[in-house]
Structure 1
Amino acid sequence: MTGPVGDRLPALFTLVVPTYNRPHELTALMNYLARLRVRFPILVLDSGSEESRRTTRNLVGHLGLSATVLEYDSSAKPFDKFRYGSFRVTTPYAAICADDDLILVDGLVACLEALEADPQAAVAHGYYFAFTDRTRGEGLMDLEHIVYDSRSIESPDPIARVRDLFRDYQALTYGIYRTHVLRDVLNATSPFRHVLTQELLSGALSVVHGKMLRVPVFSNGRAINASHPYTRWHPFLWLMEDPESLAKEYAWFRQVLVSALTDRPDYARDAADTGRLLDLIATFYLYRHTPPETFDLILDRAFGDQPMDRLWQDLAMQLPMINSAENVEPLFLPPQPAPPPPVPARTTGERIGRKLGRLIDKVMRLQAAAPPPAQTAEALPLPPMPAPDPATAPEVPPQDLPGGTRTYRIFPALQHHPASARFAVTPEVLAALTGALDAYRPWDDAVEALAPEPQPAAGDGSAHGPG
């Protein structure tokens, strides 16, 4: 290393930004990077409409970034664009950032330092925070919780690293990669057509290549927005809809992964043993996404010949799925109210007792309304209030933290997350985070100023990739 990583970023790292018909989100990200005056190369992979592409060209031409626009046919799949873009990277490290997400430069530098220090590492990333920007009309940004917080995966055994990935699965798609690893995994996933398979296989192949490092910094922000709907994005939804297709896809997935493992010179197991271990890993991954609480619900619906697509939207189906796949406090459906017990006929004695009770209540109310007698003795102190029960305590409201350009609403789950022992979100960490986010202002005048030009500007540096 000839100097600090931060000074060498233009020669070390390229940011790849895929986009599709989201000019406001892309403008927010690119303006943010321009305000931070980043000098590393940026590849914008645009497969949107012609109007959206003109906006992208105009945007890149105005901001003074070291950015190139690569254009693709609107039918291009996300992982296909990722692969095309990876082959245009000329630096040793690269990362993908969705157009509505964020990458933090200090976190990026820390991850690059970790990769430079460990030649056995294939990919590194920090902790990802979830945010909702409410700048327009409200001047707020919500920092809601930690999205990705799993441990580093550092076993010397490649299949043990695959096991560790799927034990607590979190996607590696937006990590900082060695470029040659990113190309290799994207090449291997390109024949697959389902985004779920491509994501899972790219993550598994990444840890076959080497370690995954979780660096104790914030490196990425993930926007809480509606995503493009993909088919068969959840493994159990796929199993309900087309089990034969899932079985065929898994057989192919397994074959690619077995070959990648057994081709390594440092790998000792044979193909049969490797396949058996992968089957067990996949079984437990699928089981985690199919909690027992859903079994009877699903089978009752299937045996009753009812549409399975409607079942997937049912809250009784979704809550167990969320509880099994996320590090959250369990959510429960409210219990069904029990039917009221039958009211027996009153006897004569009961009727007289009720009338007597009402009379006594009336006398007591009249006594309570009379003025109290003079106090002659010292009043006794009130007993102490019992400590609140955590199970019934009210939810802690988010904390408002003023920033340079907006107010940040910090939710408790951001600071008190499951991995806080490994990464403590201290006031100093929060101050650094909000200081960086002050540069992210999506709904400013730049959106109107960068409206599409009637014709593409000549010599704007854009290029067309395979469509």
Structure 2
Amino acid sequence: MYCALQRTNQRDRLGSGHVDANMDPSKLGGKYTLIIPTHNRPDNFAQLLDYFEVNSVEFRIIILDSSDENGVTANSRKVGSFSLNAEHFSYDPGIPVNDKLMDGISKVETEYFSICADDDLVFLPAIAESVGYLERNLEYLTAHGYYLSFSTEENDVAIRAVTYGTPSIDSPDPLHRLYDFIRYYQPIFYGVHRTEAMKKNFANINRVRGFLFEEIIHAGLTVINGKVARIRRFYYGRRAENNFADPENPKNETGHPLKWFMRDPENLLGEFVKYRDVIIEALQNTGKISMNTDELRQYLDLLHGGYLASSLDHERIYAKAREKIGIDKPENSKNASDYTTSANWRGLSVKVNSGARQTRTYQLYRTFLSHLNVSPPASPLFNNEDVFDMIKSFDTF
């Protein structure tokens, strides 16, 4: 009884836009659909389905599987072993990710949906809370909460960091919302979306090329046409081992501005111009913009120039330049970003570099704490029960 009361009180303290405390988050079948894209990660995929099975979810799950033949067979067998309301669709292993996603989104028939990668986790109470928020706030197109990263080693699960937690994007002005989104960029891809709005936004993805602009174009169109809510609850867990956007990831040629810039700067800028044209068109279609086309181009160039520049790690670029002319050793002087401060707060490992590129990471923690109205270590950072109840359902951990 005490634990249940404690959990409800914490939820009331954290929650802007929380649903009825007695609502079972698994019973969203008439309103919500989950899409799971998967590709050759049968073990991670099986763990995710185990989690949903243990929690007896009743909402529809659409599985978009572009694995090889063995992977599709293993995944199909796993889906068939459960009582989930899951549909398994197979695709050619070489299908572009966005083509697979657009086909999957076209199959959604509920008012709301979200996407969960096969190696990640989405927390069920936060799905229900996000759906409830969108139900009551029609000017919002997407709702999500805080994101954390985790890693697994043998039988241990480590919560690595709070990764995303900027405030809601809720200005009445679409230009201001776009500024807030790009200036403090954090993805909204995995949030709970209004289906019809996202179908329209995704239809524009093929107007650009490159993972970077494919990722931000649908999000940019979302914030132009509506608001994005950040509920005060942990919503999503991202597996740290599979960070596609890491510039060192060999599979990522156009997802991180640094790697794209160093490989083909002309292509990067050319695709930016295409992306910019789509954004200008959407802004003008709102009927709320007083700027002319040239003024919008200048504004977007400034805004996105700052975003791209923040991703171009000058030390990494200089290192590549040294390689080209045969300088093996790094320069003697240390950059401020070489110094790292580590802390451990209530079991959460926090590492903050002192360099300029890490300023936003530090600000994120401050922003997150201010949202919870707590000062470390006076109160738990997050509801441990939500996180660890989820983790314990993975019998392979």
TM-score (structure 2 length as normaliser): 0.80
Query: Paired residue for 1:34?
Result: 53
Which residue of the partner structure matches residue 10 of structure 1?
29
Does residue 331 of the first structure (1) align with residue 337 of the second (2)? yes
> 2:62: which partner in 1?
43
C-alpha distance in structure 2 between counterparts of 1:91 and 1:150, whole Å:
28
User: 3-state SS of the aligned residue for 1:9?
Assistant: coil
Looking at structure 2, the residues matched to 35 and 438 of structure 1 have their Cα atoms a distance apart, in angstroms, of 10
Partner of 2:365: 417
Letter matched to residue 34 of structure 2? L
Q: CA deviation at 1:435?
A: 2.2
Match of 2:260 among 220, 238, 246: 238
Aligned residues: 353
Q: State the one-letter code of the partner of 1:260.
A: A
Q: Which has the higher relative contact order, 1 or 2, with Cα contacts under 8 A spaced 6 or more apart?
A: 1
Whole-angstrom distance in 2 between the partners of 1:70 and 1:35? 23
Which residue in the other structure is 1:123 paired with? Answer: 142
2:9 matched residue in structure 1: none
Corresponding position of 2:187: 171
Q: 1:279 to 1:5 in 2, by over 3 A?
A: farther
The residue identity in structure 2 corresponding to 1:234 is: H
- 2:241 counterpart letter in structure 1: N
Distance in 2 separating the partners of 1:428 and 1:21? 32
The 1:227–1:56 alpha-carbon spacing in structure 2 relative to 1, beyond 3 Å, is: same
Match 2:169 to one of 141, 149, 153: 153
Distance (whole Å) between structure 1 residues aligned to residue 351 and residue 30 of structure 2: 37
**1:207 corresponds to which letter in structure 2?**
V
Contact 2:233 2:382 survives alignment (8 Å): no
Identify which of 272, 279, 282 aligns with 1:250. 272
Give the whole-Å Cα distance in 1 for the aligned partners of 2:330 and 2:122.
34
Asked if 1 retains the 8 angstrom alpha-carbon contact of 2:37 and 2:116, the reply is yes
* 2:227 corresponds to which of 186, 211, 214: 211
What is the distance in 2 between the residues matched to 1:73 and 1:267?
43
8 A Cα contact 1:161 1:208, kept in partner? yes
Contact 1:126-1:220 within 8 A present in 2 as well: yes
Q: 1:23, 1:56 within 8 Å by CA — same for their partners in 2?
A: yes
Equivalent positions of 1:379-418 (< 5 A) are 395-396=342-343, 410-411=348-349, 417-418=365-366
Q: 1:250 to 1:411 in 2, by over 3 A?
A: same
Question: Would you identify which runs of 4 or more consecutive aligned residues in structure 1 move more than 6 Å?
Answer: none
Q: What CA distance in whole angstroms lies between the structure 1 residues aligned with 2:24 and 2:134?
A: 11
In structure 2, the residue corresponding to 1:141 is in which secondary structure? strand
CA distance in 1, matches of 2:213, 2:152: 31
Query: What one-letter code is carried by the residue in structure 1 that aligns with 2:180?
Result: D
Correspondent of 2:217 among 177, 181, 201:
201
Offset at 1:127? Answer: 0.3
Alignment check: 8 A CA contact 1:144 1:413 kept: no
Map Cα deviations across residues 337-359 of structure 1 (whole Å, 9 max, x no partner).
xxxxxxxxxxxxxxxxxxxxxxx
What is the rounded CA distance, in whole Å, between the counterparts of 2:382 and 2:185 in structure 1?
29
Deviation at 1:294, TM superposition (A): 6.0
Q: Percent identity?
A: 26
List alignment gaps of at least 5 residues for structure 1.
321-329, 335-390, 400-408, 444-467
Cα 1:295–1:21 change in 2 (3 A) is closer
Secondary structure of 1:98's partner?
Answer: coil
Matched, 1:432 2:386: yes
CA distance in 1, matches of 2:306, 2:24: 40
SS at 2:29 equivalent: helix
Counterparts of 1:26-425 in structure 2 under 5 Å?
A: 26-134=45-153, 136=154, 139-227=155-243, 229-291=251-313, 301=322, 305-306=324-325, 331-332=337-338, 395-396=342-343, 410-411=348-349, 417-418=365-366, 419-423=368-372
**Structure 2: which 5+ runs fail to align?**
1-18, 245-250, 353-363
Q: How far apart, in 2, do the equivalents of 1:14 and 1:434 lie?
A: 24
C-alpha separation in 2, matches of 1:28 and 1:151: 31
1:161 corresponds to which letter in structure 2? Answer: R
**In 1, Cα distance between the equivalents of 2:351 and 2:227?**
28
1:158-182 Cα deviation digits (max 9, x unpaired): 1211111111111111111111122
**Partner amino acid for 1:232?**
T
- Report the CA distance shift for 1:70/1:117 in structure 2 as closer, same or farther (over 3 A): same
